């Protein structure tokens, strides 16, 4: 790929894993001809340094445009009054996916959907402005290691949209 272009990160080397313990399906999915698919999206700069942009499974594809959840989350987090945020795609009949965010405001902060959208629109392309914005009065769900459980948030959001 050209310098600066984003793509899937694959690794190859002598210290690479040979496979997943007793899981041939996962091995076949991740290893191909000695190359390991990390599941990350990244790019190389002009000095050859690798920069990770997002996880491939977190990428939202809206009308053929790639939207990186990490970029949306970093932008929304810079909005005054935002404590935490999760960005994810929800199904859309024509576009494939639409962008949704769930925001947990800081204590006492007064936020509105339009505030979040306007903040994103100030620095990102129009197609990256969330279609759906919702707020959570409680902390967003996390795993035991503190990782946001986006899969749970996404599923609950989709169920709510379909209701």
- Rounded to an integer, the average pLDDT of 22-33 is 92
Predicted confidence at residue 162, as pLDDT, reads 86
Provide the token pair at 6: 């984003």
Sequence ranges of the chain with CATH classification 3.30.300.30: 59-162
pLDDT at 163 over 90: no
Helix axes 113-123, 69-77, angle to 10 degrees: 110
The CATH architecture assigned to 59-162 reads 2-Layer Sandwich (3.30)
- Rounded to an integer, the average pLDDT of 72-83 is 98
Residues listed for the chain:
163
Provide the token pair at 5: 């272009």
Predicted confidence at residue 18, as pLDDT, reads 87
pLDDT at 128 over 90: yes
Predicted confidence at residue 161, as pLDDT, reads 86
List b or e across 146-155, with b for residues whose CB sees 16 or more CB atoms inside 10 angstroms.
eebebeebbe
Give tens-digit pLDDT for 89-119.
Answer: 999 999 999 999 999 999 999 999 999 999 9
What is the CATH number that goes with domain 7-56?
A: 2.30.38.10
Strand pairing report for 65-67 and 82-92: unpaired
Residue 126 or 1, more confident: 126
Predicted confidence at residue 16, as pLDDT, reads 87
Q: What is the pTM of this model?
A: 0.84
Q: Give the chain's mean pLDDT.
A: 94
Give tens-digit pLDDT for 47-65.
Answer: 999 999 988 889 999 999 9
Predicted confidence at residue 138, as pLDDT, reads 96
Least confident of 15-19, 24-28, 113-117: 15-19
């Amino acid at each position: 790929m050209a310098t600066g272009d984003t793509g899937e990160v694959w690794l190859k080397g002598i210290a690479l894993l040979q496979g997943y313990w007793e899981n041939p399906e996962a091995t076949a999915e991740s290893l191909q001809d000695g190359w390991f698919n990390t599941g990350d999206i990244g790019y190389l700069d002009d000095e050859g340094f690798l920069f990770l942009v997002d996880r491939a499974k977190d990428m939202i594809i809206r009308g053929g445009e790639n939207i990186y959840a990490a970029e949306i989350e970093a932008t929304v987090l810079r909005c005054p009054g935002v404590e935490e945020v999760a960005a994810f795609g929800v199904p859309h009949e024509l576009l494939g996916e639409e962008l949704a965010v769930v925001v947990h405001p800081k204590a006492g902060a007064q936020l509105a959907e339009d505030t979040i959208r306007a903040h994103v629109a100030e620095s990102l392309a129009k197609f990256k402005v969330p279609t759906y914005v919702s707020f959570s009065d409680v902390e967003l769900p996390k795993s035991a290691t503190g990782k946001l459980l986006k899969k749970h948030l996404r599923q609950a959001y989709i169920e709510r949209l379909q209701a």
